[in-house]
Amino acid sequence: MINFVKYSKLYYIFSGIIFAVAVYSLISFGLKFGIDFTGGSILEVRFEQRPENAVIQEKLKDFNLGEIVVQPTGEKGIILKTKEVSEETHQSIIVKLGEINKVEELSFESIGPVIGKELEQKTRNAIILALIAITLYITFAFRKISKVINSWQCGIASLIALFHDILIPLGVFAVLGKLYNIEITIPIIAALLTILGFSVHDTIVIFDRIRENVLRGGFSSFGETVNVSLNQTLGRSINTVLTVLIVLFAIFFFGGQTLKYFSLALIIGITSGAYSSIFIASSLLVSWFREKKKA
C-alpha cells in the first residue's frame, strides 16, 4: 500500500513552486485576451496556395487594422484577427487578399468592444459563482464527518485544489501569449469551467471514500483512514484521467487549429486536477486534523 500522506510536505513545496511560477507569469506577462473579450473582427479564408504570414500582413498594412494576428488553419486556410472593421473594409480586405492568389471566404464575424467587455464580466462572475457553489456543496455534503474534521475544511481544501488547477493552465497561457500570441478565447474559458467540474468530481470521489471509512471505523488514525481511502480510489482516478487524456491528445494533434488550445487547457488542467485531488486536497485534511489534535 502506498503511503501518500507521509510526504505531504514535499507535495506542498512542489505545488507551491508551480503556483508561484504561475502567479509570476500572470503578473509579469498578463493574459492576452482574444477579440471575444476585447472586440474586433475575425475573418477566415482559404487560399489556393497559402502565403507566408509576413506577405499577408504586408498586403494589409494600408488598412490601418492595428495589430493583425494571422493564424494558419488546415492546409491552406488562415484566420485573420484585427480590430473591428466595417463591411466596406471587410470586402476590400478580401479583394486585397485575392491579389496574392485565389482566395475563398469561409466566415466573417465582428464583435463590438461593449459586447466583449460584458462577456468578460460574465465569464468572471461564472467562475466565481462556480467556485462558491462547489465549496458550499462540499461543506454540506460532508457534514457527517464533522466529528473528526470540520466539513467546511473539506470545502476549503477542495477550493484550494481548484485554485491550483485553474492557475496552472492560466500561467501556461500567459507564457504562450507572451511568446506565441496565443489568446484567451471562449473555448479556453469553457475548458477552464470543465476543469473545475472534473477536478472537484475527482476530489469528491476521494472525500466520499474517506467519509465511508470514517463512519465505518476500524483504523488507528485519521491519517491511516485517508491513506487507505486514497489507495482504494487510486485505480479509478488513474483510469479516468488516462482515458480522458487519450481523447484530448487526439483532439490536440488531429482536431484542427480551433480546438488545439481548448484541448491543451484541458490536458494541463485535468492532469493538475488529478494530482491535486490525490496529493493536495487529502493531505490538507490530514495536516489540519493533526494541527487540531495538537491544539
Please state which CATH number belongs to domain 40-111. Answer: 3.30.70.3400
Encode pLDDT of 72-113 as tens digits: 888 889 989 888 888 999 999 999 999 998 999 999 988 776
**Alpha carbons 263 and 248: distance in angstroms, whole number:** 6
pLDDT in tens, 26-54: 999 999 888 878 878 889 999 999 998 88
Would the CA dihedral through 245, 248, 252, 258 be positive or negative? negative
Q: Which three cell numbers stand for residue 36?
A: 471575444
pLDDT at 72: 85
Looking at residue 18, its pLDDT comes to: 95
Same fold, 5-34+115-294 and 40-111: no
Contacts of residue 234, Cβ cutoff 8 Å, sequence gap at least 6: 2, 278
Q: Specify the pTM.
A: 0.85
Q: What is the mean pLDDT of residues 140-158?
A: 88
As a whole number of angstroms, the distance between CA 271 and CA 279 comes to 12
Sheet holding 103-111, edge to edge: 69-73, 77-82, 40-47, 103-111
Instruction: Convert the pLDDT of each residue in 193-230 to its tens digit.
Output: 899 889 899 999 999 999 999 988 878 889 999 999 99
167 vs 187: CA distance, rounded Å: 17
pLDDT band at 156 (very low <50, low <70, confident <90, very high): very high
Identify the pLDDT of residue 115: 65
> Residue 253: is it exposed, middle or buried by C-beta count within 10 angstroms (0-12/13-18/19+)?
exposed
Give domain limits for the chain: 5-34+115-294, 40-111
Query: Any idea which architecture 5-34+115-294 has in CATH?
Result: Up-down Bundle (1.20)
